[in-house]
Amino acid sequence: MEFSFLQPKHNNFINITFRDHVIRMVELKSLNPLTVKRTKERFLPPNIVRDGKIVDENIFRLIFEECVEEWGLKRKHVRFVVPDQFVVTRKLSIPSNVMDDEIIGHLYLELGSTIHLPFEDPVFDVHVLQRSEKTDLVLFASPEEMVTQVSSIFEENKMKPTVADVSSLCLYRLYYEFGQRNEHDHLLIIHFDISCITLSIFMKHVPVFVRTIAIPADIKIWEVSETNTRMEWAGDIIQFNVFLEDFIKEVERIMNFFRYSLNQGTDEVKRVLLYGDHPNFPLVLAKLRERITVPVDTYEQDVYTQDQEVVDPKFYFPLGLALKEV
């Protein structure tokens, strides 16, 4: 499925994701077989990006300019991901006589009346689910200011922002590529990293429920290793365990909400995919598998570089972005 705030124009892409703590880049060698040409990352100092928002734009621009020079990114076409905290997903119904090329215009007209968003001046994309007496669709929306800010940083560095995506679609796309997806299982994807946790439920390849959970500041504590290659936990593990218990209860609540409130008991989540680069990821995985009654998966397949080296799974997020069709 497609999700593009900006229209694709070119096949030679680099794929960039940034979170509060890191910028990562993946460039593919080939799609078939799936082979990575190179990966790069740059850890960010605290409070340059906070809760998905670039709060110290001057420092971020200087850091990113260094990345562009070191990684040779000028004149590249770019796929990028809109931070989860700034993406809203809605399942809507509109009149069936609204044609495909009229849907976006119709949604703009409905802003403030039948459609309410937590920000002004949105950019939209939609995926039509089905047409009958009404047209059912999933709406993706993000503040235009956010998309423009990120795009302008690329453009200032002589790069060409071309495709925008969301994290849940990136992670689902790779899961599907690996052949782990069962067509009959409704899938909950949990993206668990330092900055936030995003939960997305997929039905028939479409995210019909998305929620982002903030991680409290008092446990959002980490530091980069001396080799500058990984993050290390620097907080109170007791506090983290308390948070984790509350988080798992929320996962169970969301699964029950999906089953009983959204589907009247007829459909339920049958499988969970856990992904993220949080230093306590093994603990999160173990606790989920202990408490959740459905299978909890991680990515099971290795991906190789052109030099036959195994790609670190922390790059699977931008790798899923690289699989986006254009």
| pLDDT value at 325 more than 80 | no
Q: Which segments of the chain does DSSP mark as H helices, in order?
A: 57-71, 103-110, 144-156, 167-177, 237-256, 281-291, 316-322
pLDDT at 3: 47
User: Phi and psi (nearest 5°) for 281?
Assistant: -55, -45
pLDDT at 21: 92
Average pLDDT, the chain: 90
pLDDT at 124: 85
| pLDDT value at 326 more than 70 | no
pLDDT at 316: 97
The model's pLDDT over 145-161, given as tens digits with 9 standing for 90+, comes to 999 999 999 999 999 99
pLDDT grade for 305, boundaries at 50, 70 and 90: very high
| pLDDT value at 197 more than 90 | yes
> How long a stretch of residues is the chain?
326
pLDDT at 9: 40
| pLDDT value at 230 more than 60 | yes
| pLDDT value at 4 more than 60 | no
| pLDDT value at 7 more than 50 | no
Once rounded to an integer, what is the mean pLDDT over residues 275-289?
A: 96
pLDDT grade for 223, boundaries at 50, 70 and 90: confident
pLDDT at 11: 52
The model's pLDDT over 11-65, given as tens digits with 9 standing for 90+, comes to 578 999 999 999 999 999 999 999 999 999 999 988 899 999 999 999 999 999 9
| pLDDT value at 91 more than 90 | no
Q: Residue 199 burial by CB count (10 A; 0-12/13-18/19+): exposed, middle or buried?
A: buried
pLDDT at 232: 82
Which amino acid is it at 175? Answer: Y
pLDDT grade for 102, boundaries at 50, 70 and 90: very high
Higher confidence at residue 64 or residue 236?
A: 64
Contacts 24+ apart (CB under 8 A), 100-106: 100/128, 103/128, 103/135, 103/137
| pLDDT value at 130 more than 90 | no
What is the greatest pairwise CA distance in the chain? 61
| pLDDT value at 294 more than 80 | yes
Angstrom distance (rounded) from CA 282 to CA 319 = 21
The crossing angle, in degrees rounded to 10, of helices 57-71 and 144-156 is 50
Higher confidence at residue 2 or residue 276?
A: 276
